[in-house]
Amino acid sequence: MNTEDGLDPALADTAAELSGVLAARRLSPVRRRELYARAVAMAEGRSGLPRWRGLSAERWLPAAVGGAILAAAAGAAIGVAVTRGRRQQHALAA
């Protein structure tokens, strides 16, 4: 409750009650994230800011995991190709 603004002392208990009853409602963490994502999307639409800057955790995490899987698969494919190539060379040499 504000006290430094010169509130009438006779109304102080009503003011205290209001402070309690009107205290902020808490949104659930999921709802907070959803509203943030909506706000980011709306802000991008409004300002034309690049999309990557507004990526929230729940969006960049799957993208990062997907990227890592893709990189590992590409590495494995290259490894297999190199090994096959070497075997063929050995076979030809023999």
Say if residues 69 and 58 touch (Cβ distance below 8 Å): no
Q: Does 30 help bind other proteins (rule: CB under 8 A)? A: no
Closer residue to other proteins (CB): 16 or 81 = 16
Say if residues 54 and 33 touch (Cβ distance below 8 Å): no
Collapsed DSSP state (helix, strand, coil) of residue 22: coil
Least separation in angstroms between residue 22's CB and other proteins is: 4
Closer residue to other proteins (CB): 20 or 62 = 20
All residues at 6 or more sequence positions from 20 whose CB lies less than 8 Å from its CB, including other chains: none
Q: Does 46 help bind other proteins (rule: CB under 8 A)? A: yes
Q: Does 24 help bind other proteins (rule: CB under 8 A)? A: yes
Q: Which of the ranges 15-23, 62-70, 72-80, 84-92 carries the binding residues for other proteins, by CB under 8 A?
A: 15-23
Collapsed DSSP state (helix, strand, coil) of residue 7: coil
Nearest CA to 58 among 92, 94, 31? 31
Site for other proteins, rule CB under 8 A: 1-2, 4-8, 11, 13-27, 31-32, 35-36, 38-43, 46-47, 49, 53-54
